[in-house]
């Protein structure tokens, strides 16, 4: 069953077209890794899906329902949650207060404060600390936990490992393992190709706003992704697996 579908989506920043005729679909419980160089349009695409950036054309559908015209808060209520690049926490509020904000516009469901702490146990002793005093890993866990408090059916993660040490990234991914098995649909922007290939069911590579590679992750080589990443081949590959 398709949970998220993007159809011929265009998005602009003034005269600059950042996303060009992008289409893909992600099923329930699937993880899609969205890769590409800086400026490829990945962040704008996630923001357009979440309702934080108004698209210039195309459609976004959740469970077959067209949500393109809905504002971000209505999309959140339908189960679309974005963890933005840079976390965007309220730094003067405590970690707990940031987490509780996530349930204000989301759906009802199984995710609550206790379950978030179970998933990210490093936050338990830091709940009463201001978000601005948290480590990078604790801030990332808080940002993800805030999104989960809204009980999303689609979780959009932008630059999950950006600015974090390898050890902290390992811990974040370990905490996400249970989430990836829970049935939540995930679209993940990740610069680390090894991690992207390890966790994703599908890989989409963007170049200059367009999809230049779309493939199941299984069997997809780093070389094939690198060629698409730098525009070394032409044409969109719908099945990029290699023998």
In a domain, 79, yes or no: yes
Question: Is 202 within 8 Å of 241 (Cβ atoms)?
Answer: no
In a domain, 220, yes or no: yes
Question: Is 220 within 8 Å of 199 (Cβ atoms)?
Answer: no
Model confidence pLDDT, tens digit, residues 65-108: 999 999 999 999 999 999 988 778 999 999 999 999 988 877 88
Whose CA is closest to 155, among 179, 124, 129?
179
**In which band, very low, low, confident or very high, does the pLDDT at 240 lie, cut at 50, 70 and 90?**
very low
In a domain, 118, yes or no: yes
In a domain, 238, yes or no: no
- Residue 122 belongs to domain with CATH number: 3.40.50.300
**Which domain covers residue 164, as residue numbers?**
2-229
Question: Is 96 within 8 Å of 117 (Cβ atoms)?
Answer: no
Our count of domains for the chain comes to 1
Whose CA is closest to 152, among 207, 103, 221?
103
In a domain, 37, yes or no: yes
In a domain, 240, yes or no: no
In a domain, 205, yes or no: yes
Above pLDDT 90, what percent of the chain?
58
Mean pLDDT of 214-222: 90
């Amino acid at each position: 069953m398709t949970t998220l579908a993007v159809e011929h989506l265009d998005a602009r920043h003034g005269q600059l077209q950042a996303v060009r005729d992008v289409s893909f679909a992600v099923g329930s419980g699937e993880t899609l890794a969205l890769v590409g160089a800086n400026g490829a349009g990945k962040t704008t695409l996630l923001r357009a899906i979440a309702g934080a950036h108004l698209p210039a054309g195309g459609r976004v559908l959740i469970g077959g329902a067209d949500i393109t015209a809905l504002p971000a808060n209505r999309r959140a209520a339908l189960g679309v949650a974005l963890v933005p690049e840079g976390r965007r926490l309220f730094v003067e509020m405590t970690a707990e207060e940031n987490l509780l904000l996530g349930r204000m516009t989301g759906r009802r469901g199984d995710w609550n404060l206790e379950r978030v702490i179970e998933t990210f146990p490093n936050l338990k002793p830091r709940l009463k600390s201001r978000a601005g005093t948290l480590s990078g890993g604790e801030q990332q866990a808080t940002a993800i936990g805030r999104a989960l408090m809204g009980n999303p059916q689609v979780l959009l993660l932008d630059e999950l490992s950006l600015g974090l040490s390898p050890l902290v990234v390992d811990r974040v991914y370990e905490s996400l393992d249970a989430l990836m098995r829970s049935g939540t649909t995930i679209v993940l922007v990740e610069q680390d190709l090894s991690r992207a290939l390890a966790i994703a069911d599908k890989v989409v590579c963007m170049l200059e706003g367009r999809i230049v590679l779309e493939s199941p992750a299984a069997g997809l080589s780093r070389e094939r992704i690198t060629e698409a990443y730098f525009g070394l081949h032409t044409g969109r590959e719908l099945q990029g697996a290699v023998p």
